[in-house]
Homo-oligomer: A and B are copies of this chain.
Amino acid sequence: MKLTRRYRFAASHRLDVPALSAEENRKLFGKCNNPFGHGHDYVLDVTVEGSPDESGQVVNRREMDALVGERVLARLDHRNLNEDVPELARATPTTENLAAAIRKMLQNNWDLPARLKSVRISETDRNIFELEAK
């Protein structure tokens, strides 16, 4: 059985690849390259998989919320992804790289009884990224 819990966070970012020229970055990212950045209300869905225990639960909701809250939301919510999150500053904070960073934050030392199955993140409701856990 799969259980998905939904979380939200607000963050800002600017898309800019250092190896490219200003002109190439503008062409590649359009408005997302605007110098002072912009922001989004991200929606994060974390899916775990397992069998219900004797209390009828695949995972304890409070334990899962605490883990996601501490490892992900406390580092990303109301933050600037370029300035406040070292791994994204190095990698350009596209939503693809953000999804990969969140998977890594969750996957390292994942210690809940249910298995981490996938991470899905929406930048807006028109743009949804999904990444299976390794």
**Interface of A with B (CB < 8 Å)?**
1-8, 10-13, 15, 17, 19-20, 28-32, 34, 36-41, 45, 52, 54-58, 60-62, 77-80, 82-84, 91-94, 96-97, 99-100, 124-131
In-complex Cβ contact of A1 among B7, B20, B78, B99 (8 A) = B99
Q: B39 near A12 (CB under 8 angstroms)?
A: yes
In-complex Cβ contact of A80 among B2, B38, B78, B83 (8 A) = B38
Q: A129 near B17 (CB under 8 angstroms)?
A: no
Q: B12 near A58 (CB under 8 angstroms)?
A: no
Q: B38 near A79 (CB under 8 angstroms)?
A: yes
Q: What is the total number of copies of this protein in its complex? A: 6
Q: B12 near A55 (CB under 8 angstroms)?
A: no
A82 to B81, CA, bound (A): 17
- A25 (CB) vs chain B CBs: closest residue: B55
Q: A36 near B2 (CB under 8 angstroms)?
A: no
Q: A58 near B126 (CB under 8 angstroms)?
A: no
Q: List 8 A-B contacts (CB under 8 A).
A: A4-B127, A6-B127, A10-B39, A29-B55, A38-B80, A39-B41, A41-B41, A61-B127
Q: B1 near A62 (CB under 8 angstroms)?
A: no
